[in-house]
Amino acid sequence: MSIPLKHFKQGTAKPELPEDGVLRFYLMRFCPYSERGSLVLAAKQIPHHKIYIDLSEKPDWYTDYSPLGKVPAIQLTTVEGQPALVESLVIAEYLDEQYPGRQLYPADPLQKALDKILIERLAPAVSAVYPLLFTKDPPADALSKFEQALDVFEQEIGKRGTPFFGGEQIGMVDYMIWPWFERFPALKLVLPEKYELDKDRYAKLLEWIELVAQDEAIKQTALASEMHAKFIATRQEGTPNYDVAFEEL
């Protein structure tokens, strides 16, 4: 049974899904937090149904799975009562711990804690880039704040001395911060000055971006900068078109 490739919105009926024990993952295609869950599901090759949710006009039934109406949410169909989890980092850690395959978080408790802290340190970059991408009149200091926040990651990957933040192999930190790095190149398509990251200031980070982009889980979930720019244009006009994700460029 296939689920329509569209975002369910207010007034649309709940999709009929088979009782097949397969996880049900609720997301919005352009949401970076949703992409975190998609990446872990792909990396660990966990079967799941995707149900896309229109965040502007959420269907009434969606609160059965996410009481606050947020995405992502994941319904654990093999657990008694079929509970649902929300919050991207909670979902990612649960999947990492409960499903087989290579563990994405490090086994060492201290390193795991440090990695979680590093993930949270992306917040200033996200706060700075959001108005640049989604508003027509961002603060004058938004770009400088964005760059200062990225300096942390340029320095950190230099200190770690490994190809990935997760070490010699891609890990949870890499997956959890990637969705925003996927979106940053859209700045050159939406800003008048066609902004790109400075190749000298962010040499190591740009190498990391190029390397991560070759990961199979990333390839399965990533959207092209041009597609992000198309969605951003609809957001800036105040009429976000989530289904543009399913259109050809």
Contact 184, 195 (CB under 8 A): no
Residue 65: half-sphere exposure toward Cβ, Cα within 13 Å: 23
Domain limits of the chain?
Answer: 7-98, 109-246
Please check the confidence at residue 1 and state whether its pLDDT lies above 80. no
CATH of domain 109-246: 1.20.1050.10
CA distances from 13 to 49, 67, 72, 75, 240 (A): 17, 18, 19, 18, 21
Query: For the whole model, what pTM was predicted?
Result: 0.96
Contact 241, 227 (CB under 8 A): no
Token readout for 44 is 């660990």
Q: What is the pLDDT of residue 83?
A: 96
- In tens, the pLDDT along 103-149 reads 999 999 999 999 999 999 999 999 999 999 999 899 999 999 999 99
- In tens, the pLDDT along 179-212 reads 999 999 999 999 988 999 999 999 999 999 999 9
Q: Mind giving me the DSSP string for 208-239?
A: HHHHHTTSHHHHHH---HHHHHHHHHHHHTT-
The per-residue pLDDT of the chain, averaged, comes to: 95
End-to-end, the C-alpha distance of the chain in Å comes to: 28
For domain 7-98, give its CATH number from 3.40.190.10, 3.40.30.10, 1.10.3720.10, 3.40.1260.10.
3.40.30.10
CA 9 to chain centre: 21
- In tens, the pLDDT along 212-249 reads 999 999 999 999 999 999 999 999 999 999 999 998 76
Active site residues: 31
Contact 124, 149 (CB under 8 A): yes
CA–CA gap between residue 31 and residue 50 (Å, rounded): 14
